[in-house]
Structure 1
């Protein structure tokens, strides 16, 4: 019970800080909206390429952009830890009875709330631009769930990197080094059946691709729920491993403090 109370209190702390500076919410939406509205229009003719199976390109692109937004937002999760280290807050928390797991889960819960809100805004803009999902409300709900699970995976990784490196520059560098290859080695912006075979092979092992496939499949006209559940399960497992790894990273932080 104490872990639940600690998680709720720490999550509320971060939400209060967010409400004081809501501009960050809008800033994380700028790049996804550019991808959706600009690139979605520039590359609409991709749907005419023989072998493309995604139908309307903007509809195909939207789940990929949702996952991009979730991943890039989650990549900054550890920045809050580094700020706490610089202000001495982290050391005070670690000398208190606060649950280490609660400290990790609270950052992921906070980032997941932002992901849900930002996804809602992005989907409204996509609907205004003409995107229609045949999967209905249930499909959209699964799309949001996939984005939240992806947030947990990359948020936990970001927390672990922050605890180990304790530097903003290192967190930024590692996040950028991972995020762009992960994004392009997936079907987020292009049907992998049109890419070299090795791209498809790598994509099958890519958590970002698992989220894209689960979300896109859920909102399609003929949903393969078996595929959706498998990919959601893989994401949940990766997220659980990430939480365990990030919690263990506290020991590295304490040894290097």
Structure 2
């Protein structure tokens, strides 16, 4: 099982090395938001400093990678389904969950590497956080990627059409983004939006990141975020593997 997963992971990483343009382009949007939007938040921080604004916005920029990166990971799988590649893999002697797990592991690795770039840019801009906060944030990015990538692959196997999947993803991305406090903390939102945000898992991930960056490790959103995304990751992994088994007949 482990060997099969590592084989598929190596194959996916090899494809990534041959075409590194998409990960580079995917990280440009969060970097631009960090450079151009974070300074605007100084007006809502207590002391009006850029460092405070970075504590607020850097976790949001990291979650943007999980949203706009991992949620589109399944589009390549649709093409493989259409070409018959995925069906041949699904009926082979390979352990079927490894076909999904290898891809998800690649996506999680890419999320962590992209997160390090974002943290490096934020550090150059003046962000100062401890190693525990950085380690926990990278771990949170990994479990967030576990959920988002599995959801994307599950959708790809269920829809099997780029246009249909694109419409579904775009339909859900906007409310998820606005009700998570990515752009502005939900504390400045109306009461009804704050209530609606409580039903958005991404809200807890963003708030947990901000709490960790502020050094508040006792904040309840931290265990809530890890617990939610671990459970959602397992559920979406189960769904995507079952969809792959249906594809194999």
| The two structures share one fold, judged by TM-score above 0.5 | yes
Equivalent residue for 2:213? 219
How many residue pairs end up in the alignment? Answer: 247
Which of residues 213, 229, 233 is equivalent to 1:235?
229
Which of residues 54, 59, 63 is equivalent to 1:63?
59
Q: Does the 8 Å contact 2:147/2:236 carry over to 1?
A: yes
Query: Would the alpha carbon gap of residues 164 and 222 (structure 1) be closer, same or farther in structure 2, given more than 3 Å must change?
Result: closer
Summarize the alignment of residues 44-55 of structure 1 with structure 2, pairs less than 5 Å apart: 44-47=42-45
Q: Give me the whole-angstrom Cα distance separating, in 1, the residues matched to 2:148 and 2:227.
A: 16
Q: Deviations over 1:136-173 (max 9, x none)?
A: 11111111111111111111111011001111222222
Q: Give me the whole-angstrom Cα distance separating, in 1, the residues matched to 2:28 and 2:197.
A: 26
Equivalent residue for 1:25? 23
- SS, match of residue 75 in structure 1: helix
Which of residues 119, 125, 128 is equivalent to 1:123?
119
Q: Does the 8 Å contact 1:186/1:200 carry over to 2?
A: no
Larger mean Cα displacement after TM superposition, 148-157 or 223-232: 223-232
Equivalent residue for 2:193? 199
1:48 Cα deviation (Å)?
A: 5.8
Q: Deviations over 1:52-87 (max 9, x none)?
A: 9xx822220000110111221111221221121233
- SS, match of residue 69 in structure 2: helix
For the pair 1:89 / 2:56, whether they are aligned, the reply is no
TM-score where L is the length of structure 2: 0.92
Runs of 4+ in 1 over 3 A off after TM superposition: 251-255
- SS, match of residue 56 in structure 1: helix
**RMSD between superposed Cα atoms in Å:** 2.0
Larger mean Cα displacement after TM superposition, 225-234 or 59-68: 225-234
- SS, match of residue 97 in structure 2: helix
Larger mean Cα displacement after TM superposition, 224-233 or 199-208: 224-233
- SS, match of residue 9 in structure 1: helix
Which of residues 173, 178, 184 is equivalent to 1:190?
184
Which segments of 5 or more consecutive residues in structure 2 lack a partner in the other structure?
A: none
1:103 Cα deviation (Å)?
A: 1.6
Equivalent residue for 1:209? 203
Which segments of 5 or more consecutive residues in structure 1 lack a partner in the other structure?
A: none
For the pair 1:173 / 2:167, whether they are aligned, the reply is yes
Q: Does the 8 Å contact 1:61/1:188 carry over to 2?
A: yes
1:102 Cα deviation (Å)?
A: 1.4
Q: Does the 8 Å contact 1:144/1:215 carry over to 2?
A: no
For the pair 1:110 / 2:106, whether they are aligned, the reply is yes
